């Protein structure tokens, strides 16, 4: 297998290094904005050099972002080349398009590392679907936010201080919005739900509430309830439809997810026959993510081309299906919140069971007058 590598940053350098030790693979060309001595002799200036090279049969895209990644990968697929990507933004935005190009031109399309880093998550969903029916899936899908919430709980630290530590350790970007506001999880959930239920959900149709507003006092309040706060992606499929959402969630000690430490992820699905299956590991990082990219390359060599279903149908999530109580902390007056409040505590309220759709609408309204408000779901 001869490979054209798009991107030689953190993940790309990891992929290149691993492949150096594999006799049946070779990174022949590298396209990257920054060039160093490790690949200077293989560097090319434009995508056409890779696309038009008849020796290159596979393109690995680890550039990140939607564009120019989609333009480049589209060209590769149209040239009949296999595509492996770790780019969750690309896959979430153009899942349908990449599937169509792969089908039309015959190249493989795999993206295991786009949802879960090193965790063999999508491949096990793919495997489970051969026999089982996936009823629901959920979990910690972002190591940065889990690191922040774990430190806040264990040390009583303030959000801003822990965020700065996460940035210093390289867990969080200089602009941490994709992590703390939830888009990173939303993209991974989007991809996972599409694979699990054979659907095509638009990323923007998944309601998302992050942890930007969580305070040390919230963590204290949650502990007083005997619960632990985690930021989760959740989806499921019922006779009524498919649902999907991202929100802070309060979990009891009996739930293993409540005990996942530091920057680790744990994602799980419930099957009709297999019951609950959980997968834990590092959700990001140079070699953990690069490992799953190379695993996809081996799958292609073995003849496994896809992780998706060509039967996927466009679906809008129905978030009136999941119903549970919520923790809400706000200083604003809200008639809508008062109407669903079950219990008033000092500094926060606990709601009656309410649909995810309704509660996300309520908190959206509250934020217009109290931008520091916070909520978290309490599953039954």
Longest dimension (CA), the chain: 69
Of 151, 188, 230, 237, catalytic? 188
159-168 and 143-155 are packed helices; what angle lies between their axes, rounded to 10 degrees? 130
Q: Is 305 a catalytic residue?
A: no
Query: 């200036």: which residue's tokens?
Result: 45
Residues labelled catalytic = 188
């Amino acid at each position: 297998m001869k490979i054209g590598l798009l991107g030689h940053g953190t993940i790309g350098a990891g992929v290149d290094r691993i492949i150096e030790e594999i006799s049946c693979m070779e990174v022949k060309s590298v396209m990257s904005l920054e060039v160093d001595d490790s690949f200077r002799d293989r560097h090319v200036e434009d995508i056409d050099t890779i696309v038009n090279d008849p020796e290159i049969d596979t393109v690995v895209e680890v550039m990140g972002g939607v564009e120019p990644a989609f333009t480049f990968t589209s060209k590769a697929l149209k040239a009949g080349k296999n595509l492996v990507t770790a780019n969750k933004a690309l896959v979430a935005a153009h899942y349908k398009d990449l599937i169509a190009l792969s089908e039309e031109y015959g190249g493989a399309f795999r993206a295991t590392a786009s949802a879960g880093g090193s965790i063999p998550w999508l491949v096990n969903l793919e495997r489970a679907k051969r026999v089982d029916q996936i009823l629901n899936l959920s979990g910690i899908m972002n190591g940065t936010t889990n690191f922040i919430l774990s430190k806040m709980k264990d040390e009583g630290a303030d959000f801003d201080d822990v965020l700065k530590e996460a940035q210093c350790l390289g867990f969080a970007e200089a602009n941490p919005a994709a992590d703390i506001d939830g888009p990173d999880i939303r993209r991974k959930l989007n991809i996972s739900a599409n694979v699990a239920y054979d659907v095509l959900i638009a990323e923007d149709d998944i309601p998302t509430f992050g942890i930007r507003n969580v305070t040390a006092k919230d963590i204290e309040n949650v502990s007083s309830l005997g619960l632990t706060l985690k930021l989760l992606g959740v989806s499921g499929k019922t006779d009524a439809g498919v649902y999907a959402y991202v929100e802070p969630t309060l979990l009891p000690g009996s739930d293993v997810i409540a005990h996942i430490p530091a920057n680790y992820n744990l994602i799980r699905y419930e099957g009709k026959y297999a019951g609950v299956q959980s997968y834990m590991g590092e959700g990001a990082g140079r070699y953990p993510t690069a490992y799953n990219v190379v695993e996809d390359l081996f799958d292609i060599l073995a003849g496994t081309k896809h992780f998706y279903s060509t039967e996927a149908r466009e679906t809008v999530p129905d978030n009136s299906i999941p119903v549970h109580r919520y923790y809400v902390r706000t200083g604003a007056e809200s008639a809508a919140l008062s109407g669903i409040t079950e219990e008033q505590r000092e500094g926060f309220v606990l709601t009656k069971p309410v649909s995810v759709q309704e509660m996300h609408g309520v908190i959206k309204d509250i934020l217009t007058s109290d931008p520091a408000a916070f909520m978290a779901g309490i599953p039954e």
